[in-house]
Amino acid sequence: MPLATQGSVKTLAPDDLKGIETKILLGNTYHLYLRPGLEVIERFGGLHRFMAWDGPMLTDSGGFQVFSLGHLRKINDEGALFRSHIDGSEHFLTPELAIDIQQTLGADIIMAFDECCPYDAKPESVREAMNRTHRWAERCLKRHKRKDQLLFGIVQGGTSTEMRRESAEALVSLDFPGYAIGGLSVGEPKDLMYPITRETAALPPADKPRYLMGVGSPEDLVECVSCGIDMFDCALPTRIARNGALFTNKGRANIRNARFKKQDQPIDPHCNCYTCRTFSAAYLHHLFKCEELLGYRLTTIHNLRFILSLMEQMRSRIIEGTFAEFRDDFMAKYKPVNDEIRTAQKAKWLQAQRAK
């Protein structure tokens, strides 16, 4: 799911998204609640009409954004007291309000309000947050009334397999139509994230979708699909596109690099996106050197189409029964970003969110 955090996927219009065959978008409850506010969106009959998107949409509950605020929030059993990163105004977000907001936004899939912990939190803090998430999940179910929306629960439990199992069992007993895995990809190394994902994905009923929140690098998508995950969202493809980093079948390429100055071929000859069908790598290099806004749009189109195409390929190979071969071939060719660099970048991003 490309992120339409504030009602738009950065640099792209709805026609661009349809052109790359986007099936579903993710909107952000926290940000839309603060700006433009529910009164405005309600006047338009919901977020779909407000942003002119007629396809499916998922909204999160705001739990991760509240977690990211750090010193600007306080959490108790009733909810989360936080200060807006925009104007410092004080708000109290409860499970009931999170559901009311999402019912007003009118997304097709909405999320229960949860408490997310840092991956290195003490076990007692993780357990407290997990138990609170379970109680909040019950309150969310009780509050939710719209029959045209699916409400997903969110499994927490940090990096403890025991608590992950306990959390999954508690939420499955509430019979949600789908289950998300939260509290991963928050700075932990991949050799810790992958086994937790695999073990947790095996816990919900086989006929219920699994959604791993906040994961979107190509190698993570392939590995986590092998773990049993069905749905993903992440700001990574669009964020790095605006910094000139483009996905290719061999890994990321920095379009600012001098080697692209005279390249008459597209950045990825295997890609069928508008950018690669129309423009050379040399032209993209020129746009970024000149800081032309068109460059951000073209690289975003490419990165999102690359990710969506990757998901389509995996789906086809699963249906064909040849996914294992696809995974091995992809991993042999694709060079991921060094895990230490990735972890440092993630920590820097989280710190920036908390500083807002």
Binned at pLDDT 50, 70 and 90, residue 353 comes out as: low
Residues 184 and 129 in one domain: yes
Residues 70 and 44 in one domain: yes
Q: Does the pLDDT value for residue 53 go beyond 80? A: yes
Among 215, 234, 253, the domain-final residue is 234
pLDDT by residue (tens digit) across 137-164?
Answer: 999 999 999 999 999 999 999 999 999 9
Range of the domain at 298: 239-320
User: CB neighbours of 325 closer than 8 A, spacing ≥ 6?
Assistant: 317
Residues 222 and 256 in one domain: no
> Is the C-alpha dihedral spanning 299, 304, 309, 314 positive or negative?
positive
pLDDT by residue (tens digit) across 120-129?
Answer: 999 999 999 9
For position 71, what pLDDT does the model report? 77
User: 147: number of CA atoms within 13 Å, CB side?
Assistant: 0
Q: Which of 151, 278, 126 is nearest to 209 (CA)?
A: 151
Q: Does the pLDDT value for residue 290 go beyond 80? A: yes
For position 67, what pLDDT does the model report? 84
Residue 192 within a domain: yes
Q: Which of 170, 113, 163 is nearest to 141 (CA)?
A: 113
Q: Does the pLDDT value for residue 336 go beyond 70? A: yes
Least confident of 13-22, 66-75, 107-116: 66-75
Dihedral class, residue 82 (left if φ above 0, else alpha if ψ from -120 to 50, else beta)? beta
Our answer to whether residue 233 is catalytic in this structure is yes
Q: What is the mean pLDDT of the chain?
A: 95
Q: Does the pLDDT value for residue 293 go beyond 70? A: yes
Residue 326 within a domain: no
Q: What is the domain count for the chain?
A: 2
Residue 91 contacts residue 122 (beta carbons within 8 Å): no
**Residue 175 CB-density burial (10 A; 0-12 exposed, 13-18 middle, 19+ buried):** exposed
Question: Which entry of 60, 114, 220, 268 is annotated as an active-site residue?
Answer: 60
Q: Does the pLDDT value for residue 115 go beyond 90? A: yes
Q: Does the pLDDT value for residue 83 go beyond 70? A: yes
Residue 182 within a domain: yes
pLDDT by residue (tens digit) across 206-220?
Answer: 999 999 999 999 999
Among 166, 200, 234, the domain-final residue is 234
Q: Does the pLDDT value for residue 351 go beyond 90? A: no
For position 167, what pLDDT does the model report? 98
Q: Does the pLDDT value for residue 354 go beyond 60? A: no
Residues 230 and 259 in one domain: no
Parallel/antiparallel/unpaired status of strands 73-75 and 57-59:
unpaired
Give the H or E element holding residue 183: none
Residues 57 and 123 in one domain: yes
Q: Does the pLDDT value for residue 107 go beyond 90? A: yes
Average pLDDT over residues 165-177: 98
> Is the C-alpha dihedral spanning 60, 65, 66, 67 positive or negative?
positive
Q: Does the pLDDT value for residue 37 go beyond 70? A: yes
For position 347, what pLDDT does the model report? 63
Residue 344 within a domain: no
Q: Does the pLDDT value for residue 355 go beyond 80? A: no
Our answer to whether residue 329 is catalytic in this structure is no
Question: Which entry of 114, 220, 233, 268 is annotated as an active-site residue?
Answer: 233
Residue 348 within a domain: no
Binned at pLDDT 50, 70 and 90, residue 343 comes out as: low
For position 349, what pLDDT does the model report? 57
Residues 260 and 230 in one domain: no
**Confidence (pTM):** 0.94
Residue 297 within a domain: yes
Average pLDDT over residues 59-66: 92
Residue 220 within a domain: yes
Residue 274 contacts residue 46 (beta carbons within 8 Å): no
Strands (E), the chain: 3-4, 25-27, 57-59, 73-75, 80-83, 90-93, 109-111, 150-155, 179-181, 210-212, 231-232, 245-248, 251-254
Give, as one character, the DSSP assignment of residue 335: B
Q: Does the pLDDT value for residue 172 go beyond 70? A: yes
Residues 39 and 161 in one domain: yes
51/99 Cα distance (integer angstroms): 20
What's the maximum distance between 2 C-alpha atoms anywhere in the chain? 61
Average pLDDT over residues 292-308: 98
Residues 155 and 170 in one domain: yes
